[in-house]
Structure 1
Amino acid sequence: MSETTGCTADWHLAHSRPGLFLEYFDPRRPFALRINTLVGRFGDVQRLCDGGEARPEFVRLRNELAFHLVKMSRWWGFDFCPRGVTGVRNPLFMACVKAHVERSADDEALFDLFTMQRHMHAGDPGHILVLGRDPGADPAICVLYGVDGQRHFRFAIGSPGREPTWNRQDYPDFASAWLAAWAVHALIRDDEAGRREFETAQREHDAARAWHQRHFHRCDARPAIPLYADAHAHLSGCRSEFGRSEFRAIVNKLAFDIARMAVQRHMALADAMKEGDGRDIHPCMANTVRRRARAYVATCLDPLVRAEMDALLDGVLYHRPRRCV
């Protein structure tokens, strides 16, 4: 990827505010699109800061983006090492985060909950920091989300004007709590099909969480092919739209990783796949991987880098069979 996107500081001030592309209370949008965009924008802004851009409002944007990287890692439960993901040394990165939370009481409260817990009853599942209300719920049903003293996500459901009751079950990430809340929401509305859909999605998301956790793990050819096959099997077994959407993005990411490795090694895609799997790869399978890699670029990468990544995939060597479906 290029060292910079070429966007100016003024462009980023107008277009890279986290609120413009992060929607925390709707996990249906691709996780990968949000986190990849966030990482890319932080990296671009950081490079401009390193290059001498020192306007206070731009530095504050850099710090805000850093905080949201930490928040997203907790929200979705993925492994996050600042230096490994952004190239910025951990102490400097955390200094950016702390500078941001000093300016925002809400963000400071959430950061404290996941770190020192000076404001919480540490370890108390009954002490809950309210994150907000679900904007998509039925107007007659109030759905709240929170994080408890054990750092687990929770939800509460009630009627407007009355104090909601917190469900006793806790969840490891926001999407799990959201799916559980919407299953109850459907039950209240006597929507049996909706209830089954969300409960199925919960089970499928449980399987997807392990893949989200490894989103930034380095991948080489040897495990990539079996991982692709494993994720594809999960996708084929998904019965909910939420689960299919999650695993489609996971499969497409692995396809992109495989295709990018083939380009970097100047290998035909089928040969790179054979190296990782040890078996002959049918040209149709190689073409499927290439199409999925293209789909990942189109749906899960920051629009600022899509042209560059499409150009990279143009360098994939492959054998076009006479008939592929």
Structure 2
Amino acid sequence: MSETTGCTADWHLEHSSPGQILHYLDPRRPFARQINILTNRFRDIQALCNDGAASPALTRLRNALAFHMVRMSRWWRFDFCPRGVTGVRNPLFLTYVKAHAERSAEDDALFDLFTLQRHMHAGDGGHILVVGHDPLTAPSVSILYGVDGQRNFRFATSSRGGEPLWNGKAYPDFASAWLAARAVHALIQDDSADIHEYETAHREHMWVRSWHHRHFHRSGKLPVIRLYAQANAQLMNCQSAFGRAEMKTVVERMAFDIARTAFQRHMTVADLIEESDALSISLRSANTIKQRARAYVATCIDPMARPEMDTLLDRVVSYVPRRCP
């Protein structure tokens, strides 16, 4: 499978800006879709630059995408190695990030907060850089989000015209802070159903965080079939709409990894299941795994790369019924 989408520089300048790809303040947008498109567009633009198409505008776009990969890695708290993910050596990748930050005061402030903290009270949990407000809350109550000097996410609530009151708790990723803020907002509005929904979602997001953390890991101690079984068991235990949606995406991603592994090893999905000795999965569930893999491609893979991934899945046989002799 190729590493590029085949799109032109002009196409990327029109369709690949971070603002068209990323939705930082709405964690209900699938994490995997955003980071997959972001990294795929960066790789494609980097290839164009290496091939001599590096106009100033395309170079700026490449640098912006590099910066937002770093920002996303902090926003969702996943492991990110530039060379492992993009093929660009870490020192060179960092020059792209810094070049972008130098052109944007807002992004420079955030980059500094996550690195040297020259402009912050370094390590001070009470010194908070505001990164946005919640646009979906009731007009009588507003919610602000920020990152403190300890690089944790925070939220504040305020009534109409009042000073924001920062909540004393800190959160490792934005989605955790968003869910906690929504629960507090529901409490203010005396909405018991929403309080329960967001508190449940917050607990379930804690399960999903470890999957986000390992998003770019291509190897681990457990075979991919066993990881799929673990993720599927967690999905069955999710009660909130947010938690189910997050975990469903994780399960579909594991299913795609299974199908891709089967393709690379010239095996059926059922043979992989049998080889892994994952007794909690029946061989006939191979068909479900392939269906989930297709759902992942349809919802979380860069549209420019989907035809290639669909072809991959077309070549993977999910289940061949065993015949009695």
TM-score, structure 2 length as denominator?
0.96
Report the counterpart of residue 67 of structure 2 in structure 1: 67
SS of the residue aligned with 2:236?
A: helix
Q: Which residue of 2 aligns with 1:260?
A: 260
CA drift of 1:319 comes to: 2.6
Check whether the contact 1:231–1:250 (CA below 8 A) recurs between aligned residues: yes
Q: Is the 8 A contact 1:270 1:318 kept in 2?
A: yes
Aligned length: 322
Question: Percent sequence identity over matched residues?
Answer: 65
Would you say the 8 A contact 1:221–1:275 is kept in 2? Answer: no
Question: Structure 2 stretches of 5 or more lacking a match?
Answer: none
3-state SS, counterpart of residue 129 of structure 2: strand
Match of 2:97 in 1: 97
Structure 1 match to 2:231:
231
Structure 1 counterpart of 2:37, one-letter code: T
Specify the alignment match of 2:243 in structure 1: 243
Write the letter of the residue equivalent to 1:124: D
Alignment-derived partner of residue 132 in structure 1: 132
Q: Measure how far apart 1:69 and its partner are.
A: 0.1
Alignment deviations for residues 127-176 of structure 1 (CA, whole Å, 9 cap, x no partner):
00000111111111110000000000000000232211000000000000
Q: Give, in angstroms, the shift of residue 280 of structure 1.
A: 9.8
Q: Residues 18 and 68 of structure 1 are in contact (CA less than 8 Å); yes or no, is this contact kept in structure 2?
A: yes
Q: Note the alpha carbon deviations across 1:4-63, whole angstroms, 9 max, x for none.
A: 111000000000000012110000011000000000010001100001012111100000
Matched, 1:108 2:101: no
Partners of 2:3 and 2:43 within 8 A in 1: no
Q: What SS does the corresponding residue of 1:131 show, helix, strand or coil?
A: strand
Would the alpha carbon gap of residues 58 and 140 (structure 1) be closer, same or farther in structure 2, given more than 3 Å must change? same
**Distance of 2:255 and 2:88 partners within structure 1:** 28
Q: Distance in 2 between matches of 1:185 and 1:5?
A: 43
Give, in angstroms, the shift of residue 276 of structure 1. 2.4
Change (3 A) 1:129 1:221: closer
Q: Hey, what's the Cα distance between the residues in 2 that align with 1:320 and 1:266? A: 14
Q: Secondary structure at the match of 1:34?
A: helix
**Matched residue, 2:117:** 117
Counterpart in the other structure of 1:10: 10
- Rounded to whole Å, the distance in 2 between the matches of 1:223 and 1:283 is 16
Q: Residue 26 of structure 1 aligns with which residue? A: 26
Give the structure 1 partner of residue 50 of structure 2: 50
TM-score, with normalisation over the residues of structure 1? Answer: 0.96
CA distance in 1, matches of 2:281, 2:66: 42
Tell me the equivalent position of 1:189.
189
Q: Secondary structure at the match of 1:125?
A: coil
- Structure 1 distance, partners of 2:321, 2:182, is 46
Who is 2:313 aligned against?
313
* Alignment CA distance shift 1:267-1:240 (3 Å): same
The within-5 A match list for 1:136-151 is: 136-151=136-151
Equivalent position of 1:179 in the other structure? 179
RMSD of the alignment, in Å? 1.5
Greater shift, 306-315 or 62-71, is seen at 306-315
In 1, Cα distance between equivalents of 2:142 and 2:277:
50
The answer on whether the counterparts of 2:270 and 2:320 sit within 8 Å (CA) in structure 1 is no
Deviations 1:226-283 (A, max 9, x none): 1111111100000000000111011111110011010111111111222223659634
2: distance between equivalents of 1:45 and 1:225? Answer: 34
Q: Deviations over 1:67-117 (max 9, x none)?
A: 000000000000000000111100110000000000000000000000000
Task: State the 1:3 CA deviation.
Answer: 2.5
Following TM superposition, by how much is the alpha carbon of 1:220 offset from its aligned partner in structure 2, in angstroms?
6.9
How far is 1:318 from its partner? Answer: 2.9
Residue 118 of structure 1 and its aligned partner are, at CA, apart by 0.2
Alpha-carbon shift at residue 225 of structure 1 (Å) = 1.3
What is the aligned partner in structure 1 of residue 86 from structure 2?
86
AA aligned to 1:133 is H
Q: Would you say the 8 A contact 1:222–1:275 is kept in 2?
A: no
Would you say the 8 A contact 1:122–1:149 is kept in 2?
yes
Q: How many Å separate the matches in 1 of 2:221 and 2:119?
A: 46
Distance 1:184 1:257, change over 3 A: same
Q: 1:207 to 1:244 in 2, by over 3 A?
A: same
Q: CA deviation at 1:321?
A: 5.7
Alpha-carbon distance in 2 for matches of 1:66, 1:49: 14
Give the 3-state SS of the residue equivalent to 1:52 in structure 2.
helix
